[in-house]
Structure 1
Amino acid sequence: MKKTGAIALACLLTASALLTGCGQSGEGGDASSASGSEYKSVGYICAQLGDKSFNDLSWSGVQKAAQEIDLNAKCIEYGTDKSKMEPAVRDAAEGYDIVVMNGNEFYEILDRIYTEYPDTKFIVTDLTPTTEVNIPNVFAVMSKQHEGEYLAGALAQKMSSTGTIGLVAGADTVPINNFIIGYIQGSLEANPSGKVANSFIGGFTDTAKAKELALVQANQMGADVIHQVAGGAGLGVFEACKDKGLWGIGVDADQREFFIDTKPEIADVILTSMQKRNDITMAKAIKDTVEGTAEYGKLYKWGLKEGITVLAENDYYKAQVPQETQDYIGGLSAKIASGEIEVKMVYGMDQNEYVTFRDSVKP
């Protein structure tokens, strides 16, 4: 491999004004692998850590894999300026044997530049199901979040006393709408006459607006269980739930675990989270790459069956959710995993059809 300068470059990235490295490495992180593998290092690229959601979860999976198979691991944060995404990818491709990242924007960058880095293995997760993967050194994964959202919507209705549940989303995009359509389908499964309020913040960082929208859903629409699909802004939803004495449902990570030590009053409103277990996805993809079993150049679609898009069934969930409801959700999960229930996606659906369906359950 061409990565003999990996450690030096990692230091350069840390000090660079262009990129800000997180300064965290896998515990096994010297320049050699105990297994003797040709892969010595892995770099994870994201906007920034600290969202207590998808980015943090993904990084934890990278760290776990790095520690278990003795790779040098580094997180590279490019910040809020998207013009720094491509330079981040290029620098990481020069400095690390395996480079991992999330989202179609990264795939589009790789589609332009991958021929310049034939020796680097790229792992890109959180892709859309319509992504045409034709890059030979890319391992690509989409997560079937609509399947986990089906369970979240069904649970929310079972725990609701008003028959109206809510969802506050970051942006009105196709990937986010794929969360919403699953949530609505699950709601209708549990309560065919149930209502689902939904609102869009317009981004993923404005906690104040997220709280305001959640309070509108609670005060004006009667929502008494509110799900956040808004990344870091979702804290505002949980704050609204705390103020109103309502249940909140988190997203991506088991968000109760993130808050239980620092904000226990917030943790106690999070009934569960619809997990998109990118920690598992990242760790598996990295390990399979090092072991030589990963098949590159294709798109994998992982969901409930693979244990990727699932509800967080932690001790708090088990204590707060009646056993009858737990059994009901477990039954739905088994039916989705077996294919007996097929959850519809937004992808491939006519926009007018989706909007009509979404608006049909508004309070």
Structure 2
Amino acid sequence: MKAAALLLAGSMALAACASDEPAAGGGGGEGGGTATEELRVGLAYDTGGRGDRSFNDSAYAGASAAVEALDGELQELSPNDDASNRAELLTQLAEQGFNPVIAVGFNYDDVIAEVAPQFPDTTFAQVDGSNEDGAKGDNVTGLVFAEEQGSFLAGVAAALKSESAHIGFVGGVESPLIEKFEAGFVAGAQAVNPQIVIDRQYISPAGDFSGFNDPARGQIVAQGMYDAGADIVYHAAGGSGIGVFQAAASAGKRAIGVDSDQYQTVDDPALQAVIMTSMLKRVDNAVEAFINEFSEGTVEGAADVRYDLEGEGVGLSTSGGYIDDIQQDIDGYAQQIIDGTITVPTTIE
């Protein structure tokens, strides 16, 4: 999920290695580790791995912060090109004694349900994967987000800032999760201007996850929207978002990032200059909090932890100052969502 200039060597990185001895005890059934155990965290990334300047990097930021503070060890694994080895990644981490094991992304839905029951003494978590009904096992916690709420605010910002009353949305892969981003964005923009034109397109269809790691295609899709008259495009496309920023820079228009504060994470000043704001999805906070709870022995398992606007699990970045003049309007809409005056849709009608 990154442009060629951002590719990192290898699909596995080791950080803060503390010992070759596997951690003792502390399984999912016991609610986590104890202060006497060595913390060894396993992190299995989504498509593209670390270096996407977005979703995966946010998970890494949270995990690395937790293991540094707790003097632990972090092992990272990335899927192969066709992502066919996700189950093997989780199995490898569990067999090597890493605990907890964190799967990053909804693409692990099926495989974590297969793997977790085989390792009842290992605690698992899945970012963007619900386990509220316990179907994935008693030792799996879902870390889920109200993406639609943050995307609603992105739509508000886009509609307020658009000079052409024409904006766009680029989704990485057609899926229920990314449709939450789309639904929220559309609702927010239409709350400001019911007549606004919103172009919407996905890079790849359902089941084809290449759309999260294809900057060239992201650029082509976004460029078509700019050529058609859109002056702001919001992406929920992982590493393909770099291509959206490149299209914005080429067209002299604006873009909205996702997951991380992408104004701060892109290296190219030309791309940084076009990022109006980013929809923050605090995967870093969720992962860090989960690891801390594991170390304290307070993980429940077979449950979801939901991060929404009220809990600052989602929001908008303000880096660059491009939305400072409309912050009061954004805050007003945010408060209406928190109060329940506005209910943000999660699906497209």
Report the TM-score when normalising by structure 1: 0.83
Rounded Cα–Cα distance in structure 1 between residues aligned with 2:338 and 2:189: 18
Deviations 1:95-141 (A, max 9, x none): 2021011233423223223232111110111125x863342111112
- Aligned counterpart for 2:199 among listed residues 197, 200, 218: 197
Alignment match, 2:187: 185
Alignment match, 2:317: 312
Rounded Cα–Cα distance in structure 2 between residues aligned with 1:66 and 1:164: 45
Alignment match, 2:164: 162
Deviations 1:193-239 (A, max 9, x none): 1111111211122222211221211112x111111111111111111
Alignment match, 2:37: 38
Deviations 1:310-338 (A, max 9, x none): 11123x1xx32243x11010111122123
Residue 207 of structure 1 aligns to which amino acid in structure 2? P
Secondary structure of the structure 1 residue equivalent to 2:75: strand
State whether structure 2 residue 99 is matched by structure 1 residue 97. yes
Alignment match, 1:123: 125
Aligned CA distance change for structure 1 residues 216 and 20 (closer, same or farther; 3 Å): closer
- Aligned counterpart for 2:214 among listed residues 202, 206, 227: 206
Contact preservation (8 Å) 2:41, 2:74: yes
- Aligned counterpart for 2:293 among listed residues 283, 288, 295: 288
Rounded Cα–Cα distance in structure 1 between residues aligned with 2:41 and 2:76: 9
- Aligned counterpart for 1:23 among listed residues 8, 14, 17: 14
Aligned CA distance change for structure 1 residues 320 and 20 (closer, same or farther; 3 Å): closer
Worse overlay, 303-312 or 77-86: 77-86
Moved over 6 A (4+): none
Spell out the pairing of 1:1-363 with structure 2 (5 A cutoff).
20-25=11-16, 29-30=18-19, 36-46=35-45, 47=47, 48-95=49-96, 96-127=98-129, 132-134=133-135, 135-202=137-204, 203-220=211-228, 222-259=229-266, 262-314=267-319, 316=320, 319-323=321-325, 325-346=326-347, 354=348, 357=349
Rounded Cα–Cα distance in structure 1 between residues aligned with 2:243 and 2:54: 14
Worse overlay, 287-296 or 243-252: 287-296
Contact preservation (8 Å) 1:238, 1:248: yes
Rounded Cα–Cα distance in structure 1 between residues aligned with 2:129 and 2:118: 22
Aligned residues: 319
Aligned CA distance change for structure 1 residues 332 and 174 (closer, same or farther; 3 Å): same
Aligned CA distance change for structure 1 residues 37 and 246 (closer, same or farther; 3 Å): farther
Residue 22 of structure 1 aligns to which amino acid in structure 2? A
Rounded Cα–Cα distance in structure 2 between residues aligned with 1:284 and 1:156: 31
Residue 174 of structure 2 aligns to which amino acid in structure 1? D
Residue 51 of structure 1 aligns to which amino acid in structure 2? D
Residue 36 of structure 1 aligns to which amino acid in structure 2? A
Q: RMSD over aligned Cα, in angstroms?
A: 2.0
Aligned CA distance change for structure 1 residues 230 and 115 (closer, same or farther; 3 Å): closer
- The Cα of 1:39 is off from its aligned counterpart by 4.8
Alignment match, 2:27: none
- The Cα of 1:31 is off from its aligned counterpart by 6.5
Residue ranges of structure 2 left out of the alignment (5+ in a row): 1-9, 24-33, 205-210
- The Cα of 1:30 is off from its aligned counterpart by 4.7
**Relative contact order: is structure 1 or structure 2 higher (C-alpha 8 Å, sep ≥ 6)?**
2
Alignment match, 1:16: none
Rounded Cα–Cα distance in structure 1 between residues aligned with 2:291 and 2:20: 17
Residue 86 of structure 2 aligns to which amino acid in structure 1? M
